[in-house]
Amino acid sequence: MVRLSDLPEHERAHLLSKELPPLGPPAWTPQAKPLAEMRIALITTAGLHVRDDTGFGFTDSSFRPIPNEANADGLITSHSSANFDRSGLAEDVNLVFPIDRFRELESAGSIGSLASIHYSFMGAGLLPQAYEASAGQVAGLLKKDRVDAVFLTPV
């Protein structure tokens, strides 16, 4: 798969069926400091969690915390979807949750620091509005952690 236009018709139709109007008036937070001073959190919708955490349900808008010091190789996924490749994730969790890459950016001084907690959702089977409440919860947690910006990865 390279472009959406290259996908089989039923797959293309499914993904395009998710074409939804904007969620509301544009939201925009201006940059207040350079990247090298920012505290960054990672959020993935790959349904990742630490091994002992409760897995995600069939449809589930809740989130799981992933401590910054967690061993990336210990993360697993309970994402419901059967429609994405898991072989790459089996090889390297950074493919969907680039925690090692961001640790390298932190060590190099390219970013200020990493959040103490990162977060994971399972993006499947629900309309975007279903995530509003849990996203609001995470926003509060991120502010307490003095996070300036979030790097989001889908699956």
CA 1/CA 83 separation, integer angstroms: 12
- Is 40:115 a contact under the CB 8 Å cutoff? yes
Q: What DSSP element (H or E) covers 113?
A: strand 113-114
The interface with other proteins within residues 4-33 (CB under 8 A) comprises: 4, 6-8, 10-11, 14-16, 18-24, 26-31
Q: Does residue 73 touch other proteins according to CB under 8 A?
A: yes
Residue 120 as a binder of other proteins (CB under 8 A): the answer is no
Size of the site for other proteins (CB under 8 A): 84
Structure tokens at 67: 């401590």
Output the smallest distance, CB 55 to other proteins, in A. 5
Regarding 36 and contact with other proteins (CB under 8 A), the answer is no
Please select the residue that binds other proteins; options are 37, 67, 83, 144, rule is CB under 8 A.
83
Q: Which residues, 6+ apart, have CB-to-CB distance to 98 below 8 Å?
A: 42, 151, 153
